Amino acid sequence: MRPLDRSKPKTRMSNSTLLFIIAGIIFVLMYGIAIISFPVSFRQFQTFFDLFNYNAALFIVTLGLCVVMIGGGIDISVGAVCGLVTMACAMLLQYGTGSIFGSLLLALGIGLAFGIVHGFLIAYLEIQPFIITLAGMFFAQGMLTTLHKEPLNVTNPAFVALRSYTIEIPWLGTVNRLGIFIPCEIKPGVIVVLVLVVLYFILMKWSRFGRNVYAVGGNRQSARMLGINVKRTIFLTYVLCGLTAGISGFVFLMTTGAGNIGNGALFEMKAIASNVMGGIMLSGGVGNLLGAPIGTMTLLTINELIRAAGVQSNLQAIVSGLLLYVFIVLQSIVMSLRGSTRFKLALPTWLRSQDKEKVENQG
């Protein structure tokens, strides 16, 4: 008689983890190409940190939109809300109370208001999210141009001091041509990005809300049968996304130091592209929250490569669009191969068809 096999059954890699690993490999390859092609600039540690220093607002917007996309929704108003927040906070700092804390509360309030309205209309009235957030985008853009049509530089001393503040990393830097060691610097916005990444990852990975979002994004009918409050879950994803857009607007103001009608332009498109490049499925239910910053870094690295090559800036959009096509097709191919029974010999065991996501058991 054969002895009983008491070993634990092997668990196949989830779709979310697989797509995240693919996204990570692609980013490493892209940054490696950048280092090889332009070693003078990309080998400097400060160049890597500047991806965060100058694009912290985009990282934050992408995080908020990632939660909505995993839940099976979409929000194309986040860029306009971000721009509206920058102008409103700039006016409060320049002409109003001048309080940094007050402007931060204003930013959170504007983002929260948009999130509540969008979440209610989409979750409880069951209106298509694209239509609702399109209306929100137009409304935010209209409010932005109504508040102030010209660029508004913030000269508030307390805000200027906050914006100029930098954090040095003494053990990491670059030696210049004179042999002087220059430590790397990061802006306060980078700290905000890191804190939000940790908080959102914990929320989506280990909280009941996160498991519910994956379940709702995967199959709403199954989520209802499991006793999940689908409407409330969808509502909270949009509230969280709006709140994140408000934070992004304040960080954007800290980065640029001015309110402008062009602030946040195309952020929603860049955030969607970054999430797709990070392995988040547009259909919902699949994606790793850490893929959002990975995808953003991939997109920014591509843009920096184009800029370093001296190519016209309009080609950035063309290349980004083509790469977005590639990532969407790649996701479709991987998901098709994993779910197909005809290609079992073409794939290793851990890449083959797996059972449904375990969110049902965890919900």
The secondary element (H helix, E strand) that includes residue 200 is: helix 188-206
With CA atoms as reference, report the closest residue to 264 among 255, 30, 36.
255
Question: Which of 192, 187, 199, 247 is CA-nearest to residue 51?
Answer: 187
**For residue 308, pLDDT beyond 60:** yes
| Pairwise CA distance, residues 64 & 111, whole Å | 11
d(CA 310, CA 291): 29
The 10 Å CB-count burial string (b at 16+, else e) for 61-80 is bbbbbbbbbbbbbbbbbbbb
- Name, of 69-73, 178-182, 347-351, the range with top average pLDDT: 69-73
pLDDT of residue 361: 47
Cβ neighbourhood burial of 328 (10 Å; 0-12, 13-18, 19+): middle
Confidence of residue 5 (pLDDT cuts 50, 70, 90): low
- In sequence order, the β-bridge partners of residue 153 are 258
For the chain, give the longest Cα–Cα distance: 86
pTM metric for this prediction: 0.88
Among 191, 195, 184, smallest CA distance to 49 is for 184
Residue predicted with more confidence, 179 or 262: 262
Backbone angles phi, psi at 316, to 5 degrees: -60, -45
R_g over Cα of the chain: 22
Residue 352's pLDDT is 45
Q: What pLDDT digit, counting tens, does each position of 93-134 carry?
A: 988 877 899 999 999 999 999 999 999 999 999 999 999 999
Q: What is the mean pLDDT of residues 19-43?
A: 87
Rounded CA separation 187/194 (Å): 12
Give the integer Cα–Cα distance in Å for 90 and 103: 8
9: CB partners within 8 A, 6+ apart = none
With contact defined as beta carbons under 8 Å apart, do 183 and 173 qualify?
A: yes
SS3 149: coil
Residue type, 248: S
pLDDT in tens, 211-267: 999 999 989 999 999 999 999 999 999 999 999 999 999 999 999 988 888 888 889
Cα separation, 188 vs 165, whole angstroms:
7
Is pLDDT of 350 > 50?
no
Q: What is the mean pLDDT of residues 333-362?
A: 52
Distance CA 267, CA 318 (A): 16
Q: Cα separation of 13 and 15, whole Å?
A: 7
Contact 164, 261 (CB under 8 A): no
State the pLDDT at residue 261. 86
Average of per-residue pLDDT values in the chain: 85
Task: Enumerate the domain spans of the chain.
Answer: 44-170+183-264+281-293
The C-alpha angle with vertex 22 and arms to 173 and 356, in degrees rounded to 5, equals 135
User: How many angstroms separate the CA atoms of 192 and 60, rounded?
Assistant: 8
What one-character DSSP code corresponds to residue 99? -
Question: Which carries the bigger pLDDT value, residue 13 or residue 197?
Answer: 197
Tell the residue number behind the tokens 């490493």, with chain if given.
28
Pair of tokens at residue 125: 């009235």
**Confidence band (pLDDT; 50, 70, 90) for 11?**
low
